[in-house]
């Protein structure tokens, strides 16, 4: 094998490793209720209740109907706390 081919192979390996490292350091955009519960140190049931009662801004996943919370909403919750209960009509 020529030295040029060895260098190309090594560069491809470095590129693969750098790509994997960059993917690990990219923050997630959305978290499921189990992940949110771990982050805010509450039970998953509590987080699901907050989502259902609109105390956290969350969306339902299309496929399985589970709740997902954005990173921005988690950061908002950590600074401001739960949203007030919506007024019933």
- For the cut 90, the answer to whether the pLDDT of residue 16 exceeds it is no
pLDDT for residue 31: 94
Q: What is the number of other CB atoms lying within 10 angstroms of the CB of residue 1?
A: 6
pLDDT for residue 44: 97
* Model pTM score: 0.68
- For the cut 80, the answer to whether the pLDDT of residue 88 exceeds it is no
What is the residue extent of each domain of the chain? 30-80
pLDDT for residue 21: 80
User: Higher model confidence: residue 87 or residue 37?
Assistant: 37
Buried b (16+ CB within 10 A) or exposed e, 17-42: eeeeeeeeeeeeebbbbebbbeeeee
Provide the mean pLDDT of the chain. 90
């Amino acid at each position: 094998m020529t030295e040029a081919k060895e260098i190309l192979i090594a560069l491809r390996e470095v590129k693969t490793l750098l790509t994997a490292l960059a993917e690990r350091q990219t923050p997630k955009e959305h978290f499921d209720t189990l992940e949110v519960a771990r982050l805010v140190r509450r039970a998953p049931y509590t987080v699901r209740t907050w989502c259902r009662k609109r105390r956290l801004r969350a969306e339902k996943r299309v496929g399985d109907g589970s709740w997902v919370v954005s990173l921005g909403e988690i950061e908002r919750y950590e600074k401001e706390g739960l949203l007030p209960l919506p007024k019933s009509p």
